[in-house]
Amino acid sequence: MMSQRYYDIGLNLTDPMYRGVYNGKQYHGADVHTVISRAFERGVKAALLTGSSLKESREAIALASDSELSDRGVRLKYTLGVHPCCVNEFADHDATIDNPSHDEEWNQSLHLQVLQNLEPTKLKLKELYDLCQQQIMIDGGNFGAVGEIGLDYDRFYYSGKEMQKIFFEEQLKMSCLVSNPKMPLFLHMRNCCDDFLAIMNKFVQGFSDVQDTFGWRSIAGRNDQKPIFYQFDPERKFVTHSFTGSIDDLQRILALSSNSYIGMNGCSLKSSENLQCADQVPVDRLLLETDAPWCDIRRTHDSFKFLGDYTLPFKSVKRDKLDKVTPEDKARTMVKGRNEPCNMEQVAIVVANVKDMPLNDLIETIWKNSVTVYGE
């Protein structure tokens, strides 16, 4: 196992849990460095750190640029974008992945406020565009993808449907206007396949935007008044990550383009239908991830039996006990209920067993797919 190499394409290293904060309460000190060391020990050679909001995108840049963290052996890249659960940020509200509004009625009408006063939103979109442009220019090797962007209709207590649809499309527009239009995409799709596909198809097929509601001509420095024609670069690749949809959803997403890939983690492998999807997705269109600190594989999941006799290589303690562990032991101690990138091997073992293929063959193919999409 130790000779294998894993590429965790979904690691939420900016999550407060890695700073010891759970639901706003501090339980232990930051342990992000030992988290990355454990990942490297278990064969993780590269990871894509998820940007979920402007704030968290900047935090992902900082983590990937941390020399002490990089020295732990894992190649750290990052995404820049605003998650569908954080799109209230474009209405100039404080929105991060750990800060839902819990006001669905307000969320569902927020887009009307945005359309009545466009200026604050234009500034936020320009801020994201400028950040992407800056990182393309100075850090193109580590800036791995525009993302995490998309739709999530399971969590309207974070943001409403119309806000999500508007700013999924606007961020896709932005991704076509930056100076590297081949930049891959890291996409989120939860219980929304029809709308997700409708928006993605627009960009696969190409369309002219006559209205330019949010002023992309100005933001991107277009001097003429011609409508902008948006279409994905033919070399652009995109991954619908943490896939939890139906077999029909899977087939329709793959049919979008030969550049369309699927990302799977523990949450993608919970149910019998999930496992059927894992079996049916072509191995050359599949990438794997942990989505840590979320989406661990649990005993209650249908996937658990596919782990066989696998045992965790590290012990774990409750979150309020970690700081009581000796410094020597802390490096080999996980927090119960908090997923880590070292668990990539579990995801690979389950998928290999579901697909009934040699584990080494699966791991090597997934590595090649991941490098093809997001770079080494």
pLDDT tens, position by position, for the chain (376 residues)? Answer: 446 899 999 999 999 999 999 999 999 999 999 999 999 999 999 999 999 999 999 999 999 999 999 899 999 999 999 999 999 999 988 888 888 999 999 999 999 999 999 999 999 999 999 999 999 999 989 999 999 999 999 999 999 999 999 999 999 999 999 999 999 999 999 999 999 999 999 999 999 999 999 999 999 998 888 999 999 999 999 999 999 999 999 999 999 999 999 999 999 999 999 999 999 999 999 999 999 999 999 999 999 999 999 999 999 999 999 999 998 899 999 999 999 999 999 999 999 999 999 999 999 999 999 999 999 8
Structure tokens at 309: 């006799």
Sign of the dihedral defined by the CA atoms of residues 198, 201, 205, 209, in that order:
positive
Closest by CA position to 296, among listed 269, 314, 271, 274: 269
Tens-digit pLDDT profile for residues 160-198:
999 999 999 999 999 999 999 999 999 999 999 999 999
- Residues 6+ positions from 234 with CB-CB distance below 8 Å: none
DSSP code at position 227: P
Tens-digit pLDDT profile for residues 195-205:
999 999 999 99
Domain borders along the chain are: 6-374
Report yes or no: 90 and 118 within 8 Å, Cβ to Cβ.
no
What is the fold, at CATH topology level, of the domain defined by 6-374?
TIM Barrel (3.20.20)
Residue 359's alpha-carbon distances to 5, 17, 67, 284, 373, in angstroms, are 12, 31, 33, 15, 21
Compute the distance between CA of residue 239 and CA of residue 236 in angstroms, rounded to an integer: 10
Compute the distance between CA of residue 325 and CA of residue 31 in angstroms, rounded to an integer: 12
76: helix, strand or coil: strand
CB atoms within 10 A of CB 224: 7
Compute the distance between CA of residue 213 and CA of residue 253 in angstroms, rounded to an integer: 28
